[in-house]
């Protein structure tokens, strides 16, 4: 019987357990998107995870979604990430960078540029800016000739990630950001080869993954997906058909893994498990939903055929989450007010479990 605490070989990268730290935005980067020593400590504290996937990292300036997030498109950012990867590796951990192009989920006050997207359709809701939340602006629709440049931006950032010492990268294809926008049937209203039928809507995701795999190897490239998710107002028609077609194309690239969020019914996710021949990471509970992933949900999905299980919010307040899960210790509650406030409080101040004498 497979357990959370069994070793797993991820295309030559040996994971000591099957617990993955999911990517979570924490907006602690310095000016210019440069990672800090506090970020190095934060990730190193959680190095007992089988695999850590970082917060979303912008592959270009126009790809930045929120202020205070780190990038991988300048030499200064690469240098900042080296202290993070060194700290994690010194503590015995493994670290993938999540590459996140925000697309239309951005604002000129954050980047100095008009956001771009598959179509001139704004996201639903307010986006974060340096002066507070503001309505999502109308993005500039990318010309057909421009689209491959944005697909290649993931590959260019992936090269920088490996130069910075990362073990691999995860493309953020979920939660209403750029790849997800191209998959969408309402954010993507294009009539060229990147829009319309399923075969066209998956093209950008496949091109981004193919470019990244060509740059750093499929074994060091994963992708996160949220089938049927409605983040930032995206909608997807024909979810099983859309994602089955996408997984079929991605399978030819021999990627390290696909990371599925529980944004669709279990029967849909099981259908996608059958469609994907490689390593599957599952996040068993809805991101930012009312329930956090625990050991029960993790074991359920291991029994259903997932290879690795990702935990999000539980890792914020429990840097020693693997030990707590292994020994069935209580989980510390998280202070939501400190998610994005900056500083070390609510970031580096959660202790490991304190055993009584």
Positions marked catalytic: 177
Find the DSSP H helices in 97-146: 108-111
Whole-angstrom distance, CA of residue 104 vs CA of residue 111: 12
Strands annotated E in the chain:
8-10, 13-15, 19-21, 51-57, 95-99, 116-117, 126-127, 134-135, 140-141, 168-173, 221-225, 257-261, 280-283, 308-311
Within 10 Å of residue 5's Cβ, how many Cβ atoms?
13
Q: Could you give the C-alpha distances from 121 to 145, 162, 166, 205, 223, in angstroms and in order?
A: 19, 34, 35, 19, 25
Q: Is the four-CA dihedral 200, 259, 2, 93 of positive or negative sign?
A: positive
């Amino acid at each position: 019987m497979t357990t959370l605490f069994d070793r797993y070989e991820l295309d030559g990268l040996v994971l000591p357990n099957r617990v993955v730290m999911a990517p979570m935005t924490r907006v602690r980067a310095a000016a210019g998107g440069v990672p800090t020593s506090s970020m190095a400590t934060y990730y190193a504290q959680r190095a007992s995870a089988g695999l850590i996937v970082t917060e979303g990292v912008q592959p270009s300036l126009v790809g930045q979604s929120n202020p205070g997030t780190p990038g991988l498109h300048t030499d200064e950012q690469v240098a900042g990430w080296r202290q993070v990867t060194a700290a994690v590796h010194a503590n015995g951990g493994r670290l993938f960078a999540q590459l996140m192009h925000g697309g239309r989920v951005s604002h000129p006050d954050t980047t100095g540029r008009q956001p771009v997207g598959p179509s001139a359709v704004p996201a639903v809701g307010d986006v974060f800016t340096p002066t507070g939340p503001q309505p999502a602006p109308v993005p500039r629709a990318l010309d057909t000739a421009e689209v491959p440049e944005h697909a290649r931006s993931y590959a260019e950032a992936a090269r920088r990630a490996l130069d910075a010492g990362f073990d691999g990268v995860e493309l953020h294809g979920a939660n209403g950001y750029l790849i997800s926008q191209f998959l969408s049937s309402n954010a993507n209203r294009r009539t060229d080869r990147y829009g319309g039928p399923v075969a066209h809507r998956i093209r950008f995701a496949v091109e981004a993954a193919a470019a990244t795999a060509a740059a750093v190897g499929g074994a060091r490239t994963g992708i996160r997906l949220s089938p049927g998710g409605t983040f930032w107002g995206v909608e997807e028609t024909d979810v099983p058909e859309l994602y089955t077609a996408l997984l079929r194309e991605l399978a030819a690239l021999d990627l390290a893994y696909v990371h599925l969020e529980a944004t669709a019914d279990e029967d849909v996710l099981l259908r996608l498990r059958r469609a994907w021949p490689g390593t599957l990471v599952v996040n068993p509970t809805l991101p930012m939903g009312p329930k956090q992933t625990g050991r029960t949900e993790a074991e359920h999905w291991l029994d259903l055929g997932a290879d690795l299980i990702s935990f999000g919010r539980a890792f914020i307040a429990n840097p020693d989450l693997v030990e707590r899960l292994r020994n069935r210790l209580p989980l510390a509650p998280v202070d939501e007010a400190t998610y994005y406030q900056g500083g070390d409080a609510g970031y580096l101040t959660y202790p490991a479990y304190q055993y009584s004498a």
